[in-house]
């Protein structure tokens, strides 16, 4: 079961630069590992992470097998208005997860 | 009676020597596929399109000595304003010796306020990590760090 952890401040002053931390549980199988019998374990990773604020994309990451299991990504944004952050993770084998967080800006 | 003993001893030594010589060779051949400096250069070329990359502005924070290559914390900061007319467009992180040269691409914009990202990465070997920032004026800036890894990622078997 995939699940996300999001850390967004609930409140901020207009113009503040806030940090957003995200963690998505995922095995991030590289495709370079072998089983004991010598078969390659097929790749299964998250390939893309996107953050939108009130519908506009504010941050995007392309992920590769070199990202650790349970990808942890943090970034910053300027608080301009109250609204909703939407997070989306897309990956191999049709993996798709979303999460959201609200912020009130004074 | 003496003769056969000698000859078998000689044979044994000869075989042992041959095995040792053969043993030295596969060490080079058996190594898993890894990104070579040439692949690293090609991956950077893909991003920059051949434009000059200057050293500076970018700060790549990563522990110089890593015990476990499976999760290595990494922070990239670009000392550059994030104004609409002049900002950091993207940050690209590469490595030298993982099976693939790419680690991650981060796409930013003026609304980010600060050009700083963190994540956790895998390192298959002691190697050089390169971070490249693309600015809105089309220039590229970079920083690189050498990391020593004691336990490499990607080597364990799956049961």
Q: ipTM for the complex?
A: 0.93
pLDDT reported for residue A37: 87
Under a CB-based contact definition with an 8 Å cutoff, are residues B123 and B69 in contact? Answer: yes
Tell me the pLDDT tens digit for each residue of B40-58.
999 999 999 999 999 999 9
**B-interface mutation test, from A41, A57, A60, A66, most B Cβ less than 10 A away:** A66
The answer to whether B47 contacts chain A (CB < 8 Å) is no
Intra-chain end-to-end CA distance of chain B, in Å: 54
Under a CB-based contact definition with an 8 Å cutoff, are residues B123 and B150 in contact? Answer: no
Fold type of domain A4-105: Immunoglobulin-like (2.60.40)
The answer to whether A39 contacts chain B (CB < 8 Å) is no
Q: Is the pLDDT of residue B13 over 80?
A: no
Calculate what percentage of chain B has a pLDDT beyond 70: 75
Cβ contacts (< 8 Å) between B159 and chain A: which residues? Answer: 35-36
DSSP state of A54: T
């Amino acid at each position: 079961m995939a699940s996300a952890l999001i850390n967004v401040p609930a409140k901020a002053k207009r113009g503040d630069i806030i940090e957003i931390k995200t963690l998505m549980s995922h095995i991030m199988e590289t495709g370079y590992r072998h089983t004991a019998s010598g078969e390659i374990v097929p790749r299964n990773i998250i390939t893309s992470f996107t953050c939108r604020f009130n519908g506009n994309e504010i941050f995007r990451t392309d992920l590769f097998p070199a990202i650790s299991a349970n990808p942890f990504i943090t970034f910053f944004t300027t608080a301009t208005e109250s609204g909703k952050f939407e997070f989306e993770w897309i990956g191999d084998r049709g993996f798709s997860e979303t999460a959201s967080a609200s912020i009130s800006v004074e | 009676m003496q003769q056969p003993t000698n000859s078998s001893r000689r044979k044994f030594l000869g075989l042992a020597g041959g095995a040792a010589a053969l043993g030295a060779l596969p060490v080079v051949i058996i190594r898993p596929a890894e990104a070579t400096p040439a692949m690293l250069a090609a991956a950077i070329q893909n991003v920059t399109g051949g434009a000059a990359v200057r050293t500076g502005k970018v700060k790549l924070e990563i522990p110089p000595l890593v015990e476990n290559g499976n999760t290595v914390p990494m922070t990239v900061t670009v000392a550059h304003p994030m104004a609409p007319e002049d900002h950091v467009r993207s940050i690209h992180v590469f490595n030298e010796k993982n099976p693939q040269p790419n680690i991650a691409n981060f796409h930013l914009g003026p609304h980010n306020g600060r050009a700083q990202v963190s994540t956790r990465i895998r390192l298959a070997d002691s190697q050089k990590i390169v971070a490249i920032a693309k600015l809105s004026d089309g220039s590229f800036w970079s920083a690189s760090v050498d990391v020593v890894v004691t336990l490499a990622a990607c080597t364990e078997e799956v049961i």
